[in-house]
């Protein structure tokens, strides 16, 4: 694997990854509103619903150390790797499940392990092959409870790995107080907030 950073200009594409198991749930409504905003700013946008994909979590086999790609599994994650590389903008949206991201989102994040170059002996120096490319991200958590405490680590569980991978988080939101499937459609403040986050993302990508 090359240790040279990728420096070529990347299109302002946006990949929105939704980690809810509920079809047409609150996360998916928010994903659609962000997509509407980024598309209106002419950013090529794709929404990925992890519930529609069949994929394994990372098993730590380290096969990706040689190729820079996950060669252990050919599954629902496989086509996403090129999309992640090509999209300079990334949005992660996860419901809060037990104070954290959903299992779908956690497995997705763990499968990004192949983007790291790790020096030997371990532990040693490491870097992300996605770093130094002006990548920007927005993270959104969706919670039933209204106390911030009840959202637990959800935003942190997305923020820390994305920063380690080389993304600048340009906006992060906790949309709280929503339980019923799709209820967030009737909350104009929440919809405005995610649309504003989409706008912030496209502005940041245009700089
Ligand atoms: C297994 C499970 C665990 C949950 N844990 C929490 C929690 O810790 N805190 C919270 O505020 N809401 C929690 N919720 C509620 C969801 O976050 C909430 O219903 C959210 O709107 C679901 O988003 P979705 O419609 O996109 O799936 C949980 C829901 C499920 C199914």
The pLDDT tens digits along the chain (207 residues) read 333 333 344 577 999 999 999 999 999 999 999 999 999 999 999 999 999 999 999 999 999 988 888 999 999 999 999 999 999 999 999 999 999 999 999 999 999 999 999 989 999 999 999 999 999 999 999 999 999 999 999 999 999 999 999 999 999 999 999 999 999 999 999 999 999 999 999 999 998
Structural domain spans, the chain: 14-206
Structure confidence at residue 6 (pLDDT): 36
Q: What strands, in cross-sheet order, belong to the sheet with 135-142?
A: 45-49, 14-18, 89-95, 135-142, 167-175
Cα of 145 vs centre of ligand 1, distance in Å, is 8
Structure confidence at residue 5 (pLDDT): 36
Structure confidence at residue 10 (pLDDT): 55
Torsion region of 24: left, alpha or beta (phi above 0 gives left; psi -120 to 50 gives alpha): left
- Of the candidates 83, 73, 164, 84, the one whose C-alpha atom is nearest the C-alpha of residue 118 is 164
Tokens of 89: 């903008």
Residues with CB under 6 Å of ligand 1 are 20, 22, 25-27, 95-99, 142-145, 150-152, 178-179, 181
Structure confidence at residue 43 (pLDDT): 93
- Of the candidates 78, 45, 73, 81, the one whose C-alpha atom is nearest the C-alpha of residue 165 is 81
Cα of 91 vs centre of ligand 1, distance in Å, is 19
Contact assessment for residue 55 and residue 17, using Cβ atoms and an 8 Å cutoff? no
Q: What architecture is domain 14-206?
A: 3-Layer(aba) Sandwich (3.40)
Cα of 27 vs centre of ligand 1, distance in Å, is 10
């Amino acid at each position: 694997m090359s240790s040279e950073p990728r420096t070529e200009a990347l299109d302002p594409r946006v990949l929105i990854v939704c980690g809810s198991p509920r079809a047409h749930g609150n996360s998916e409504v928010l994903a659609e509103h962000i997509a509407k905003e980024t598309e209106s700013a002419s950013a090529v946008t794709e929404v990925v619903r992890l519930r529609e994909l069949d994929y394994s979590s990372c098993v730590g086999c380290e096969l990706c150390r040689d190729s820079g790609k996950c060669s252990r599994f050919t599954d629902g994650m496989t086509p996403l790797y090129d999309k992640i590389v090509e999209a300079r903008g990334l949005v992660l949206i996860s419901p809060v499940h037990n104070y954290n991201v959903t299992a779908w989102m956690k497995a997705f994040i763990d499968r990004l392990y192949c983007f790291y170059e790790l020096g030997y002996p371990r532990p040693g120096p490491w870097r992300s092959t996605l770093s130094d490319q002006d990548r920007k991200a927005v993270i959104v958590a969706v919670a039933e409870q209204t106390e911030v405490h009840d959202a637990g680590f959800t935003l942190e569980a997305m923020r820390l790995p994305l920063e380690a991978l080389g993304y600048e988080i340009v906006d992060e939101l906790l949309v709280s107080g929503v339980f019923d499937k799709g209820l967030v459609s009737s909350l104009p403040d929440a919809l405005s907030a995610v649309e504003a986050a989409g706008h912030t993302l496209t502005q940041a990508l245009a700089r």
